[in-house]
Amino acid sequence: MESFFRYLPHIVWPSSCPVCGRLAVKICPECLESLSGHFSRFCVSCGRDAPCGAHPDGLVCRSVSVYSGINRDVVHAMKYSYCKAIALMMGEVMARILPKPGADFLVPIPLHKGGKREYNQAKLIAYGAGRIWNIPIKDCARWNVDRKSQASSLDKTSRALPSGVMTSNAGAEGKSVILVDDICTTGNTLLAAARALGEAGANPLGAMVWGRSV
């Protein structure tokens, strides 16, 4: 009977660790940790290793893994299969690997306006890291446009998002912040958030993401 209950979640919601195949878990903590270790510190504007000569004052992001293969599946599960625990674990792993920043707040990248997602995985990652580092979270950035108009508003030449697509409400003026997201692909979202925080009087020290898209 005990084993029945142990495997009940697997029967109701089939799942197994994508790394080791263990049943009835979305992923084992040690297997998640094994997916990290591809540490990089890069310029968000151009993707080159930081510090970058072209953007000496540009936003620098730290990542602990590459967004491909099994890692892509795990990130997908975290976002779309209600695996909030994975996001928290990711944050904890990041906080153990990355140097603790001298920031007042961790600021998660917000969910898209009008989106259907039920929770913000970036916020959970920030909570996971923040509770290890003892740095509070400030959920103070907001999209002003929905995803569709965001895509069509991309500047054709610079491929950057225009000013005003994201804003930061009160709460971070004069504070130094680290932006947190799950994945960095083009870097446009992180740059838009850094600009919004800067316009609101905060000092974005840098960004951290679980995975970097290559």
Q: For strands 40-43 and 105-108, give the pairing.
A: unpaired
Q: Which of 185, 186, 188 is nearest to 165 (CA)?
A: 188
Q: Pick from 214, 213, 205: which is nearest to 98 by CA?
A: 205
CB of 115 to Zn ion, least distance (A): 30
Q: Is 151 among the residues that bind Zn ion (CB under 5 A)? A: no
Which is it for the CA torsion 9, 115, 138, 121, positive or negative? Answer: positive
Contact flag: residue 19 with Zn ion (CB under 5 A): yes
For residue 185, give both structure tokens: 């692909």
- Is there binding between residue 28 and Zn ion (CB under 5 A)? yes
Residue 154 CA to residue 143 CA, distance in Å, equals 14
Choose between 28 and 154: whose C-beta lies nearer to Zn ion.
28
- Minimum separation from the CB atom of position 72 to Zn ion (A): 16
Q: Is 197 in the site for Zn ion (CB under 5 A)?
A: no
**Contact criterion met (CB below 8 Å) for 128 and 89:** yes
Residue bearing tokens 């310029």: 43
By CB under 5 A, tell whether 31 contacts Zn ion: yes
Q: How many CB atoms lie within 10 A of CB 49?
A: 11
Q: What is the DSSP string of 157-202?
A: TT-PPPTTSEEE-TT-TT-EEEEEEEEESSSHHHHHHHHHHHHTT-
Is 77 one of the binding residues for Zn ion (CB under 5 A)?
no
Residue 1 within binding range of Zn ion, rule CB under 5 A: no
**C-beta of 86: minimal distance to Zn ion in Å?**
12
Residue 85 is a binding residue for Zn ion (CB under 5 A): no
Among 7-15, 45-53, 124-132, 192-200, the segment contacting Zn ion (CB under 5 A)? 45-53
Residue (50 or 145) nearer to Zn ion, CB: 50
**Least CB distance from residue 83 to Zn ion, whole Å?**
14
Stretch binding Zn ion (CB under 5 A), from 26-34, 65-73, 93-101, 133-141: 26-34
Task: Catalog residues that contact Zn ion under the rule CB under 5 A.
Answer: 17, 19-20, 22, 28, 31, 43, 45-46, 52, 54-55
